[in-house]
Amino acid sequence: MRFGRRNYESRRRIRVWPLIVFGLFAVVYYNLNQETVPLTGRAQFVDVSMSQELALGISSYRQILRESDVLRNGSDVEFVKRVIDRLIPVVTERDFEWEVSVIRSEEANAFALPGGKIAVYTGILPIAKNEDGLATILGHEMAHAVARHGAERMTQNKLIQWGSLAASVSVGELEPQHQRLILAAIGAGTHFGMTLPFSRDHESEADYMGLIYMARACFNPEEAPKLWERMSSTGSRPPELLSTHPDPVSRSKRMKEWMKEALEVRSAHCE
């Protein structure tokens, strides 16, 4: 009886083989689903087809517009249209049917969905302040769509889910409380060590691409750091390490580091 108890306890341990199988699968799957981000040349992991991504973007966009107070005309709509009409011709990396809607809301926000569907909330217009500031915002959002950041996040989340399943199988013989502790630690490590930094990298990449786009369209890129300085004073934020977005002050600093290139692009396109 005592021997049986020891033999039973010896089997209650972490199984390594599910993690090994997942690791090998992840390496192969990652290498089979590689694309290149336009403009930056970064290799990205994407397993979502462009047609799937476009369909999801259009569906989400229509639902948002149905639930929002969309402005059809007026000074805010004209302001946004003037800026987007200059940006669209210079964003040549994707052949999207760009569409922009202005939504009446106090929320200081704007977003772009796959396929080039953009929404601008009126609450962000005072922060934009002028056409160059709004071009910074819209160029950034257009860059997210061009770089397929949404599809990349979906692919990453899928791999994380599969990894979580492998981890669950690996600890399946442990006591329930030990399973919960280990899986919670893995979840926290994935969130803070992978998901959040991944999102911040996307934001920085979109900042750079958007800066180049606004320069191509002959807006003044020197307004971009000023926009993020204004954004930094719009409310409290979590520390950068706990956020999906870089701190506005950090973004302003990076914009200044890229400014020489942006001004050269503007000079080449706008003489």
| Candidates 141, 152, 205, 223; catalytic one | 141
Residue position matching structure tokens 């160059």: 132
**Could you give phi then psi for residue 39, rounded to 5 degrees?**
80, -50
What would the pLDDT profile of 32-48 be if each residue is shown by its tens digit? 999 999 999 999 999 99
What is the C-alpha to C-alpha distance for residues 214 and 221, in angstroms, rounded to an integer? 7
> Residues of 29-43 as b/e, b for ≥16 C-beta within 10 angstroms?
beeeeebebbbeeee
pLDDT in tens, 208-241: 999 999 999 999 999 999 998 898 777 666 555 5
Cα 271 versus chain centre, distance: 33
**Which residue matches tokens 């290498």?**
31
- The owner of tokens 């973007």 is 57
pTM of the prediction? 0.86
In this prediction, residue 8 carries a pLDDT of 46
Specify the pLDDT at position 53.
92
Whole-number pLDDT of residue 213: 98
Asked about 264 being catalytic, the answer comes back as no
pLDDT at residue 10, as a whole number = 45
> What pLDDT does residue 244 have?
66
Residues of the chain with confidence (pLDDT) below 70: 1-12, 191, 194, 235-244
Q: Give every CB contact of residue 66 below 8 A, 6+ residues apart in sequence.
A: none
CA dihedral 217, 222, 223, 227 (to 10 degrees): 120
